[in-house]
Amino acid sequence: MKSISSIALNTFRESIREKLMVIALFFGALLFASSYILSPLAVGARAKIVLDVGLAAVSLLGILTTIMIGSTLLHKEVDRRAIYMVLTRPVSRLEYLIGKFWGILLAVAGVVAVMTAVMVLMLMLGKVALRPVVFMALYLTLLEIAVVCSIVVFFSTFTTPVLTSFFSVCLVVAGSLSGDLKVFAEKFGGAVTRRIVDALYYMLPNLKVFNLRHEAVHDLPYRAGDLWLVTLYAAVYCGVVIYIAHLIFKRRDFA
C-alpha cells in the first residue's frame, strides 16, 4: 500500500507540472464564461444553459485532460529510464500501474474541482439554487473520468503515446454510442451482427450511465440506489481493465 501511495503521489506531482493542466483550466474558464455571456440569448433559460454547458465542459475537459496526460506519463518514465529504478525496488508491476492510475485520477480530480468551483460561483452570482442532483452529476463525472483513466493506463502499457490517445478517444466515443449501436443492430442487423454488437456492448465502457446532465438541468429525480450501482460498475470496470493491463505490462522486458 505504501508503494502505491508513493507512486500515486509522484504521478500526481508530475501531472500537475504538465502545461496541459493549465491549458485545460484556462479553456474551462473560457467555456464557462462564454456560456454565461451567451445565456441571455435564451430568455428564461439562463441558469439551465450555464449549468448544462458547465457540466458538459467538466466532463469533456476532464476526459481530454486524462487522455493527454495519461498517454505520456508512462512513456516518459521509460524514456528517462526512471522506471528501471522503480521496478528494481520491492514494487510489483501491478502496484506500479495502480499507483499511476490513482496519481492521474487525483490530478484530474483537482482540475475538475477548480472547474466545479468556477461553475458554482457563476451559478451563485446568477442566484441559482444548487440542487443535490447537480453534485450527483459531478460525482458521476468523476467516475466516468476514472473509467477513462483505466483505459488510458491500459493502452499506455503496450502502445506509443499517439496511439494511446487515439485508441482511448475511439473507445470513449464507442462507449458513448454503444447503447445506440445495440438498438440499431437489433432493428436492422442480422443474427451475426447482433451477436457481435452484443459482445462489444458488454466489453465497451457504457459511458451513458455516467451522464446525469439532463436530470441536473431539468431538476428531475434520481434514485440513490442507481448511484451505488453506477459506482459499483465503475469500480469493477476499472479493476478488470487495470488487471488486464498488468497481465500485458508484466510481459514487457525493461532490462
Exposed, middle or buried by CB within 10 Å (0-12, 13-18, 19+), for 63?
A: buried
Of the candidates 248, 71, 239, 235, which has an alpha carbon nearest to the alpha carbon of residue 167? Answer: 71
pLDDT bucket at 169, cuts 50 / 70 / 90:
very high
Q: Which of 26-40, 109-123, 240-254 comes out lowest in average pLDDT?
A: 26-40
**CA geometry: angle at 167 spanning 164 and 169, to 5°?**
105
Q: Is residue 254 part of a domain?
A: no
* Tally of structural domains, the chain: 1
* Tens of pLDDT, residues 204-243: 888 888 988 888 877 777 777 788 899 999 999 999 999 9
* Domain enclosing residue 193, as ranges: 2-249
Domain assignment present for residue 255? The answer is no
Report pLDDT digits (tens) over 79-132: 666 666 666 677 788 888 888 899 889 988 888 888 888 778 777 776 667 788
What spatial distance separates the first Cα and last Cα of the chain, rounded to whole Å? 25
User: pLDDT for 185-194, tens place per residue?
Assistant: 666 666 666 6
